[in-house]
A and B are shown apart, each in its own frame.
Chain A
Amino acid sequence: MLTSSFVLGSTSHGFNGGDMLFQLVMFIILLALLKKFAWGPLMGIMTQREEHVANEIQAAEASRQEALKYLEEQREIVKQSRTEAGQLIENAKLQGEAQREDIVNQARLEAERVKESAKREIVQEKEKAITALREQVASLSVLIASKVIEKELSEADQEQLINDYIQEAGEGK
């Protein structure tokens, strides 16, 4: 009795079909209940967490990508503004050069004009002076001539002169 009990345990009393059925039914009920009340929610939260982690990783990746993009953009902008600044300086230099040239040219032209007008004035003044001198010389010579004539003209000479005049007048007709 002891040996058989050790070997087959409590089934030495025969076939317990009821136990089998009960165990089977209980296990199925347990499985169903646990699925509904424990494993289901637990799996749900684990999947949720997995999704959350995946989302977070994705978001981090995306923001990293965005940051990189922004960095590149900023770098581009800095480069651009640097070239722009260089260009501006270059332009200002060129403009200054041009302006300088312009001013110098203008000054030269002005000087030329002033010189020209001064020359013209000089010429005019010279001519005026010459004319005035000529007039004076003429009147002086007439004066001298009259003085000379008054003083030195002899009777004969006077005669001669009058004759010449008459001659001339006659020929002039």
Chain B
Amino acid sequence: MNHEAPLHDFMGLTFNLSNVLMITIASLVVFLIAVIGTRKLAMKPTGMQNFMEWIMDFVKGIINSNMDWRTGGQFQLLGMTLLMYIFVSNMLGLPFAISYDGVLWWKSPTADPVITLTLAVMVLGLTHYYAIKMKGAKGYFKAYKNPMTLVEEFTNSLTLGLRLYGNIYAGEVLLGLLAGTLAFSGPAGFIGAIVPTLVWQGYSIFVGSIQAFIFVTLTMVYLSHKVSDDH
């Protein structure tokens, strides 16, 4: 279970090649799903188009429950992309983990705090950008009269990223223990591991979906806090 990471230094930055691989795969999967789902667009939606429109309405619902659609409408694309990307990322690590030569290659990219914190910091950065863009510099700084707001910025980004990471990483660790360690401890262990592995995989699908939903919801909550005037 305690795998090494395929680290590689390039131009002064450290790259975890497995992360690079999984980010690319997750992005590719999301892109393919979205593009295939919107190939045959019709006024009367069929098949995949229904699914894509459901996602669109779902994100629209999340935004609408947090802010006015006039200000929130521009975040719909961000919300949809985040939702699908995080969901797909969470799902990638579920069916299997591939390690080669003691190096873990296939896993959820969201099982790495660096990735989730990057997403969280990106979202927080966007909230600041839109706050200044929509309320002006004066309105933006007015929110910091209370110094606790500054603390909130750090805790928000930390909790947003670490919540996702913790859930997915814990799921993978337990899956690794069940399928990797218990299943190889003997015939009884193999048989005994089947049921808990199945259960935990099912639960992980649930957790992965919920975490993607929570991430998008919190993104919209933070955005609405920054963008709207009454907070």
Residues of A in contact with B (beta carbons under 8 Å apart): 1-2, 5-6, 8-11, 13-24, 26-27, 29-31, 33-35, 37-39, 41-46, 48-49, 52
Interface stretch of the complex, out of B64-72, B104-112, B135-143? B104-112
Determine whether the beta carbon of A39 is less than 8 Å from that of B42: no
Known: A26-B23, A39-B34. Is A11-B15 also a contact (CB below 8 A)? no
Please, which residues of chain A bring their CB within 8 A of the CB of B37? 38, 42
Nearest CB of B to A18, in Å: 3
Q: List 14 A-B contacts (CB under 8 A).
A: A10-B18, A10-B19, A11-B113, A19-B14, A19-B114, A20-B115, A26-B24, A26-B27, A38-B31, A42-B49, A43-B76, A45-B41, A45-B42, A45-B49
Determine whether the beta carbon of B23 is less than 8 Å from that of A22: yes
Nearest CB of B to A36, in Å: 10
From B13, B43, B56, B115, A17 is in contact (CB under 8 Å) with B13
Within B29-46, the residues touching A (CB, 8 Å) are 30-31, 34-35, 37-38, 41-43
From A13, A31, A46, B53 is in contact (CB under 8 Å) with A46
What would 11 more interface pairs be, CB under 8 Å, given A10-B112, A17-B14, A30-B81?
Answer: A5-B2, A11-B113, A19-B15, A27-B27, A30-B30, A37-B35, A38-B37, A39-B81, A41-B41, A42-B56, A52-B43
Please measure, in the bound complex, the distance between the C-alpha atom of A8 and the C-alpha atom of B122, giving whole angstroms: 20
Please measure, in the bound complex, the distance between the C-alpha atom of A33 and the C-alpha atom of B119, giving whole angstroms: 18
Within B75-132, the residues touching A (CB, 8 Å) are 76-78, 80-81, 85, 104, 109, 111-115, 117-119, 122
The 5 closest A-B pairs by CB, nearest first: A18-B15, A38-B34, A18-B13, A10-B5, A45-B41
Q: In this assembly, does B159 line the interface, its C-beta being within 8 Å of a C-beta of chain A?
A: no
From A6, A19, A35, B173 is in contact (CB under 8 Å) with A6
Please measure, in the bound complex, the distance between the C-alpha atom of A43 and the C-alpha atom of B172, giving whole angstroms: 36
Q: In this assembly, does B10 line the interface, its C-beta being within 8 Å of a C-beta of chain A?
A: yes
Please measure, in the bound complex, the distance between the C-alpha atom of A13 and the C-alpha atom of B165, giving whole angstroms: 17
Residues of B in contact with A (beta carbons under 8 Å apart): 2, 5, 7-8, 10, 13-16, 18-20, 23-24, 27, 30-31, 34-35, 37-38, 41-43, 49, 52-53, 56, 76-78, 80-81, 85, 104, 109, 111-115, 117-119, 122, 165, 169, 173
For the residues of B in contact with A, the DSSP-based class is helix
A15, A35, A43: which has the most chain B beta carbons within 10 Å? A43
Q: Which chain B residue has the least Cβ–Cβ distance from A28? A: B122
From B19, B52, B111, B114, A42 is in contact (CB under 8 Å) with B52
Please, which residues of chain B bring their CB within 8 A of the CB of A17? 13-14
Determine whether the beta carbon of A15 is less than 8 Å from that of B53: no
Please measure, in the bound complex, the distance between the C-alpha atom of A22 and the C-alpha atom of B38, giving whole angstroms: 27
Determine whether the beta carbon of A13 is less than 8 Å from that of B56: no
Determine whether the beta carbon of B113 is less than 8 Å from that of A8: yes
Determine whether the beta carbon of A9 is less than 8 Å from that of B169: yes
From A2, A21, A22, A27, B119 is in contact (CB under 8 Å) with A27
Please measure, in the bound complex, the distance between the C-alpha atom of A34 and the C-alpha atom of B82, giving whole angstroms: 11
Known: A22-B20, A34-B34. Is A42-B43 also a contact (CB below 8 A)? no
Determine whether the beta carbon of B77 is less than 8 Å from that of A11: no
Determine whether the beta carbon of B122 is less than 8 Å from that of A27: yes
Determine whether the beta carbon of A10 is less than 8 Å from that of B35: no
Nearest CB of B to A101, in Å: 76
From A11, A15, A23, A38, B109 is in contact (CB under 8 Å) with A23
Nearest CB of A to B175, in Å: 14
